Structure 1
Amino acid sequence: MAVKLEQLIAQTILQGFDAQYGRFLEVTASAQHRFEQADWHAVQQAMKKRIHLYDHHVGLVVEQLKHITDQRHFDAAFLARVKEIYTELLPDYPRFEIAESFFNSVYCRLFKHRDLTPDKLFVFSSQPERRFREIPRPLARDFTPKGDLSGMLQMVLNDLPLRLPWENLPRDIDYIVAALRQTFTDEQLVDARFQIANELFYRNKAAWLVGKLRLPEGIFPFLLPIHHNESGALFIDTCLTSKAEASIVFGFARSYFMVYAPLPSAMVEWLREILPSKSTAELYMAIGCQKHGKTESYREYLTFVHQSSEQFIIAPGVKGMVMLVFTLPSFDRVFKVIKDQFAPQKEVTQARVLECYQLVKEHDRVGRMADTQEYENFVIDKHRISPELLAELQREVPEKLEDLGDQIIIKHLYMERRMTPLNLYMEQANDQQLKDAIEEYGNAIKQLAAANIFPGDMLFKNFGVTRHGRVVFYDYDEICYMTEVNFRDIPPPRYPEDEMASEPWYSVSPNDVFPEEFRHFLCTDLKIRHFFEEVHSDLFHASYWRGLQARIRDGYVEDVFAYRRKQRFSQRALN
């Protein structure tokens, strides 16, 4: 009997998702090999490749459907039946939640992000209470010290799948035991139960052992980052046991982990106990399922809007020359729309801004660039928009608005984690907070530069402060690769009058940057200047930047630590 067209369409979409997630798992499964080979450039390429896989397979399915349907027009009832049939395929499907997101992506690609209604696509999940049913094998193994914590740790570490030798395993075990005893008493550790994930979490130049420490007092993270030394032997770099530290490791400003997760919902639920402050969206993104994370972000937004009566307002801070930014007062995200026209001093184009945001999505964010989710045809009830914001939207982005009377559609925007703008934070900070913020700001600049990213516009207003006090870059319209910039020293004046002239006495090309000038716009406040000179004066010297460029061009990939250097075991040994 011939298969109905709607049945064929539903099956084609699900088969396309199977192919996509199969390739996703293949790339992920190779992470151990890349780590063991210390092939850090392959690590970076695999990260980009895995991100691209999703859109690539959506495109393949769209082309298949165009061929199957001969691109005919379908009414709303037909499209609703396709979704119903697809839903019937999912009750026993192990990755149903991401399969729903894949269906949404295919629908949006086919219909240009129009007519996004719950009867035609999965605005909300078809199985909101279901996480997972049966797990083919346990996600983690249990270990107990039984009076010998060092012996248990040796068993855990020797049982890892890594095929490289340890530099000095007894030393590292002593470090871990000492770190645990700094936080927990011997009485607590005697009764401890360690749950260790079967899969390692790979990112950058580290393989992370992720576990839980179960005590009568509660559940604590147990995180061990494993690194290479110069000879290719392994060592444990630190031990993290607080939920705040774990939150930073799995933070929204970091690249996605490579962890083999055939059942992503099971992995998300397992992680939730040690990352209670993370939303479902953030957890999916952390393990590389960023498109489903985007779906969950939108659902979290819809839930918030439904449960509150707040109006959208212009986001606090200095207004941008390229982006219009708005938010809801109690919501933890902001919305960013590219303006139709930029300020005259901005030479960037709309296309270039889109490229910059995509660059950030694909690049190693090193904990210093906020991840973004991109949406098209974003619908907002007009009565929820403050008069000031509505006027701003109509003035700055009229080409991106569609007025439906009681609703407006914003044709394109980004959703991003909300932070306190650094300039506002510094205005309210005491001396110690100000010093810490300056140190964090400089560290952010240096870590971005080491990862081959030059922020372009380094003003404090383009950076935010997270709830953990970390400084993160979030304004990407002038971002570029470090290797594209020409860092120059300002030539000495030819005559005394040169320094008084309104125009420079030296030629300036488009990619020229003079780090000496940073001091003039970053350090107008004497207190800020003092703190800056104390910890980051090297940023004002072109030689520092050229040195970083030389390392990048030589192919060196810098280490990225999701914790402070003083927490490293090597630093503790020195102290």
Structure 2
Amino acid sequence: MPRGLELLIAQTILQGFDAQYGRFLEVTSGAQQRFEQADWHAVQRAMKERIHLYDHHVGLVVEQLRCITEGKSTDAAFLLRVKQQYIALLPGYPRFEIAESFFNSVYCRLFGHRTLKPERLFIYSSQPATRLSAHPRPLAKDLEPTESWSQLLSGMLRDLPLRLPWQDLARDVQYIFRHLREHFSDDTLRQSRLQVANELFYRNKAAWLVAKLFTPHGTLPFLLPIHRSDDGELFVDTCLTTSAEASIVFGFARSYFMVYAPLPAALVEWLRELLPGKSTAELYSAIGCQKHAKTESYREYLDYITHTSEQFIEAPGIRGMVMLVFTLPGYDRVFKVIKDRFAPQKEMSADHVRACYQLVKEHDRVGRMADTQEFENFVLEKHQISPELMALLREEVPEKIIDLGERIVLRHLYIERRMVPLNLWLEKVDGQSLRDAIEEYGNAIRQLAAANIFPGDMLFKNFGVTRHGRVVFYDYDEICYMTEVNFRDIPPPRYPEDELASEPWYSVSPSDVFPEEFRHWLCADPRIGPLFEEMHADLFSAAYWRALQTRIRNGHVEDVYAYRRRQRFAVRFGAPEYVN
């Protein structure tokens, strides 16, 4: 290869990333207009389009590089020089950290995820960590209650860039102030101030004002979800000021925010104080940089695995028929590998399973489906794998394993947040905790269905419980759109003998679902059955599911709240329900 080609290749990759992130910002910048026009279907399309942008632009760059190199082989020394030329372009580059991830993606696509050596990739960043904390321009503005909190809040809301009128600004200011006085003393409020992000965070049907509340006792989140009524008027739906509430809003089971972030590293650093329990990977993911979040997640994994003596073990819970799931005892993630062969009752292919996981990645997860990160050629040290798990891997996924002596490579896997399987949770709780779990489980099914997702296999083992007590679905191999299902009532028996027969007396098609049958396994436990009948009996009615299908087919997009409905101002303060 001629000298000078290394620089051309490095510049081509960086220019490709520039094009990708430019389109990313362009799609993101349309969030305000989509919100103001209540174009909720455009919101869903934009979310999907933005996710696809990254892989699309990686593909374009790969094709350019194939033309530049004319298909000639590139030796190790040449590839190292390309990386060095790329590093030389980054010191003055504002989005260097994601540009490094883009380089990794291009390299992996170009070489089919082979020869993944640290010296050829950005396993760790080439740039000093101090660059991540440098804020070249203010990301937020400070507001102090010089005269009163009511005046501060009113001015803050009036100054927002939204171009719609307020339904009742004075009412909303009063509600926010009432919330603050319920949670903080007057003396604390006199000594407190806000730092408000310059950009609104858009997701679903809400525009979120995100701020930090600085008090004498520490820094707290201050979050206001702003909604649009059917009449085109703005209102604040609630105020959230606890770390747990903020963690759920920015949770791993929710869609990515649309927030204009030309300097994502600076925004992540600003959010870190607001969300101290979130990792760097989780923060990048929350603002839509999910591919760089994958890089950060892998770095966090490497840090953990380097400093632990733990061995990988099979994950607790009932063994799945499609996925082999393993983890490290103290790690907050699980690793999921598609089995080479499925149980007989699972009539599907590995490609189908991967398509289901991609569907979840692109769909609105409404706080009820865990996000996943997909990896190819994942390397594990044999001494860090328990003998029992190694035997299970060789039994269930031998075609996915490449043996490298002291290491193995798993050709493909997913990494997902670790939760307590709901079936195990239900075994150990009682009283109000049991009631809360059953309420959460039913609500998860309802919210998934309202978002046009039918879980398929709704057994308790396919759901997990987060550290905040939320129930989240995580087994996607039978997932489908609600509109693809035929919900039927079981026909009455023709003769008394029909009910005793081993086969149904009515025809059943692959897409048929009979909600009455849910009762057999959801209510089998005498501790659970009465609670489920009390709170969620309508889930056993085909009419309930068909009514949801009608709303979906009519184009209705349901409201999605990242908080309990009882936290809404309209409910808390006894006001008439806002029209929205």
Q: Partner letter of residue 290 of structure 1?
A: Q
SS in 2 for 1:556: coil
1:94–1:132 contact (8 Å) kept in structure 2: no
SS in 2 for 1:348: coil
1:9–1:82 contact (8 Å) kept in structure 2: yes
Residues 445-489 of structure 1: CA distance to partner in whole angstroms, max 9, x if unpaired?
A: 000000000000000000000000000000000000000000000
1:10–1:86 contact (8 Å) kept in structure 2: yes
Q: CA deviation at 1:130?
A: 3.0
What does residue 259 of structure 1 align with? 259
What does residue 37 of structure 2 align with? 37
Q: CA deviation at 1:134?
A: 5.1
SS in 1 for 2:572: helix
Separation of aligned partners in 2, 1:50 and 1:208: 19
Q: Partner letter of residue 283 of structure 2?
A: L
Separation of aligned partners in 1, 2:274 and 2:134: 22
Residues 1:263 and 1:3: Cα distance change in structure 2 (over 3 Å): farther
SS in 1 for 2:548: helix
Residues 1:433 and 1:13: Cα distance change in structure 2 (over 3 Å): same
- Answer yes or no: is 1:519 the counterpart of 2:484: no
Q: Residues 267-416 of structure 1: matches in 2 within 5 Å?
A: 267-416=267-416
Q: CA deviation at 1:573?
A: 2.7
SS in 2 for 1:282: helix
SS in 2 for 1:122: coil
Q: CA deviation at 1:135?
A: 3.6
What does residue 231 of structure 1 align with? 231
Q: Partner letter of residue 573 of structure 1?
A: F
What does residue 49 of structure 1 align with? 49
Separation of aligned partners in 2, 1:186 and 1:72: 72
Q: Partner letter of residue 14 of structure 2?
A: L
What does residue 65 of structure 1 align with? 65
Separation of aligned partners in 2, 1:103 and 1:200: 30
Q: Partner letter of residue 487 of structure 1?
A: F
Q: Partner letter of residue 99 of structure 1?
A: A
What does residue 417 of structure 1 align with? 417
Q: Which runs of 5+ in 2 are unaligned?
A: 576-580
2:24–2:53 contact (8 Å) kept in structure 1: yes
Q: Residues 547-566 of structure 1: matches in 2 within 5 Å?
A: 547-566=547-566
Residues 473-514 of structure 1: CA distance to partner in whole angstroms, max 9, x if unpaired?
A: 000000000000000000111111111110001110000000
Q: CA deviation at 1:131?
A: 3.8
Residues 102-139 of structure 1: CA distance to partner in whole angstroms, max 9, x if unpaired?
A: 00000000011111111101011112513446544310
- Answer yes or no: is 1:201 the counterpart of 2:201: yes
- Answer yes or no: is 1:89 the counterpart of 2:89: yes
What does residue 497 of structure 1 align with? 497
What does residue 533 of structure 2 align with? 533
Residues 315-339 of structure 1: CA distance to partner in whole angstroms, max 9, x if unpaired?
A: 0000000000000000100000000
1:373–1:416 contact (8 Å) kept in structure 2: yes
Q: CA deviation at 1:191?
A: 1.3
Separation of aligned partners in 1, 2:220 and 2:304: 29
SS in 1 for 2:130: coil
- Answer yes or no: is 1:437 the counterpart of 2:437: yes
Separation of aligned partners in 2, 1:110 and 1:132: 29
SS in 1 for 2:170: helix
1:377–1:410 contact (8 Å) kept in structure 2: yes
Q: Residues 132-281 of structure 1: matches in 2 within 5 Å?
A: 132=132, 135-281=135-281
Separation of aligned partners in 2, 1:172 and 1:95: 38
Residues 390-426 of structure 1: CA distance to partner in whole angstroms, max 9, x if unpaired?
A: 1111111111110011100000000000000000011
* Cα RMSD for the two superposed structures: 1.0
Q: Partner letter of residue 497 of structure 1?
A: E
Separation of aligned partners in 2, 1:405 and 1:10: 34
Separation of aligned partners in 1, 2:227 and 2:238: 10
What does residue 428 of structure 1 align with? 428
Separation of aligned partners in 1, 2:130 and 2:536: 50
SS in 1 for 2:22: helix
SS in 2 for 1:366: coil
1:147–1:190 contact (8 Å) kept in structure 2: no
What does residue 508 of structure 1 align with? 508
- Answer yes or no: is 1:19 the counterpart of 2:50: no
Separation of aligned partners in 1, 2:534 and 2:220: 37
What does residue 465 of structure 1 align with? 465
Separation of aligned partners in 1, 2:133 and 2:251: 28
Residues 1:502 and 1:429: Cα distance change in structure 2 (over 3 Å): same
Residues 229-266 of structure 1: CA distance to partner in whole angstroms, max 9, x if unpaired?
A: 11110100000000110000000000000000000000
Residues 62-81 of structure 1: CA distance to partner in whole angstroms, max 9, x if unpaired?
A: 00000000111111111111
Runs of 4+ in 1 over 4 A off after TM superposition: none
Separation of aligned partners in 2, 1:128 and 1:431: 52
Separation of aligned partners in 2, 1:63 and 1:178: 58
Q: Which runs of 5+ in 1 are unaligned?
A: none
Tell me how many residue pairs correspond in the alignment.
574
Residues 1:132 and 1:407: Cα distance change in structure 2 (over 3 Å): closer
| Structure 1, 36-45 or 77-86: larger mean CA deviation | 77-86
SS in 2 for 1:562: coil
2:179–2:239 contact (8 Å) kept in structure 1: yes
SS in 1 for 2:194: strand
Q: CA deviation at 1:302?
A: 0.6
Q: CA deviation at 1:206?
A: 0.3
What does residue 486 of structure 1 align with? 486
2:6–2:78 contact (8 Å) kept in structure 1: yes
Q: Partner letter of residue 117 of structure 1?
A: K
Indicate the percent of aligned positions where both proteins have the same amino acid.
73
SS in 2 for 1:494: coil
SS in 2 for 1:273: helix
2:133–2:265 contact (8 Å) kept in structure 1: no
2:142–2:193 contact (8 Å) kept in structure 1: yes
Q: CA deviation at 1:228?
A: 1.0
Q: Partner letter of residue 308 of structure 2?
A: S
1:257–1:287 contact (8 Å) kept in structure 2: yes
1:131–1:269 contact (8 Å) kept in structure 2: no
Q: CA deviation at 1:196?
A: 0.5
Separation of aligned partners in 2, 1:420 and 1:131: 38
Q: Partner letter of residue 22 of structure 1?
A: G
Q: CA deviation at 1:147?
A: 3.5
TM-score, structure 2 normalization: 0.98
SS in 1 for 2:120: coil
Separation of aligned partners in 2, 1:347 and 1:234: 49
1:140–1:195 contact (8 Å) kept in structure 2: yes
